Amino acid sequence: MLLGETLHIVAGPEDEGMRLDKFLSVRVEELTRSAAERLAEQGQVSSGGKTLDKKYRLRAGDAIEVILPEPVGLDILPEAIPLDIRYEDADLLVVNKPKGMVVHPAAGHAGGTLVNALLAHCGDSLSGINGVIRPGIVHRIDKDTSGLLIVAKNDFAHQRLAEQIKEHSFTRMYEAVVHGNLKEDTGTIDAPIGRHPTDRKRMAVTEKNSRHAVTHFEVLARYKGFTHVRLKLETGRTHQIRVHMAYIGHPVAGDPVYGPKKPVPNLDGQCLHARVIGFVHPRTGEYLEITSELPSYFTAFLEKLKKQTFGGMECGLERDSSGE
């Protein structure tokens, strides 16, 4: 969702009878119900040229137009936070985000974010496509997911990179430790993801108001009660890996939202790392692939699992985890 644009949404049979404000909050991922109410009250939601009330009940086939507000200037301050930059040129940079860092300012996280750090590092040299809150941010990873993230320094680079993501030609490979023992060495999870029907903070595999989502997995090593896997995103939905792995009965270890309620000892947050990012450079046309090593929290957990499973002996079951 880009601020300042007009969204065109067609109601389906499953939306029949739904209130307009609820419909918008379900179909527009980043629009809360209260925000949808405000837009309707401001006359920014219409169908066939007629302004709709927030209480309007949808009919199948309704073509809804939503005018989103222009970005509002916010006082987001540059902060001299160290960045682990793995690649940089005049158009873009690839940063290795630490676990625990929020990507952009939001409620409860006004400072200390990746955007605050980027403003200090890049100054005015960040794309403005995603507005003042997320300058340069082409895609996101969760606060407690570590790893590689690409940042656009200008709108030209941002648009070209966004096109690659949309066309599924943008390489994103992760590694994770998940609960249980996957039966297959490789596999594909093809299951649509949408907002959870009762909890807006969560996503879920659902046929209603969802988007196509595909994740490929490969087993790297098996341990007692856990499996080390490599995951490749074909699509990039919110919480996709976490939702898909939980859906097949193997949630990411340490995931406080989609995993078991009982925490994994000595693991603070999910064991999920964005290890490889590959893309065609928007200006040169050259394919670049950047790889980051597994962080210490991840390798320490693997060592613990090895000792618990094999008593410190070499297991001989591990595959190459280099991402190459």
R_g over Cα of the chain:
21
- The mean pLDDT value for 192-217 works out to 89
d(CA 306, CA 116): 38
The reply to whether domains 6-67 and 85-166 share a CATH topology is no
**What is the average pLDDT value for the chain, to the nearest integer?**
88
Q: What angle do CA 152, 113, 254 make, to 5 degrees?
A: 105
Number of H helices, E strands in the chain: 6, 16
The ranges assigned to domains in the chain are 6-67, 85-166, 171-310
Q: What pLDDT score was predicted for residue 267?
A: 87
Identify which of 162, 131, 149 has the alpha carbon closest to the alpha carbon of residue 83: 149
Q: DSSP H helical segments within the chain, as ranges?
A: 20-27, 33-41, 114-122, 155-166, 240-247, 296-310
- Concerning whether 142 is annotated as a catalytic residue, the answer is yes
Q: Are 269 and 316 in contact (CB under 8 A)?
A: no
Q: What confidence score (pLDDT) does residue 86 get? A: 98
Pick the CATH number of 171-310 from 3.40.640.10, 3.50.50.60, 3.40.50.10420, 3.30.2350.10: 3.30.2350.10
Catalytic hit among 142, 185, 190, 320: 142
Tell which CATH architecture fits domain 6-67.
Roll (3.10)
Confirm whether pTM is higher than 0.85: no
Q: What is the CATH number of domain 85-166?
A: 3.30.2350.10
CB 134 within 8 A of CB 120: no
142-190: per-residue pLDDT in tens?
Answer: 999 999 999 999 999 999 999 998 888 999 999 999 999 999 999 999 9
pLDDT, tens digit, for every residue of 264-309?
A: 987 888 999 999 999 999 999 999 999 999 999 999 999 999 999 9
By mean pLDDT, which of 25-39, 40-54, 195-209, 215-229 is the weakest? 25-39
Smallest Cα–Cα separation from 282: which of 169, 197, 199, 193? 169
Backbone φ and ψ for 139, nearest 5 degrees, come out as: -150, 170
Confirm if 48 and 65 have CB atoms less than 8 A apart: no
- Quick one: pLDDT at residue 297? 95
98: CB partners within 8 A, 6+ apart:
84, 146, 295
**Residues 142, 274: contact at Cβ < 8 Å?**
no
| Integer CA distances (angstroms), 3 to 31, 85, 128, 129, 307, in order | 11, 28, 11, 9, 51
The beta-strand segments (E) located in 180-317 are 186-190, 193-195, 203-205, 210-211, 214-223, 226-233, 272-280, 287-291
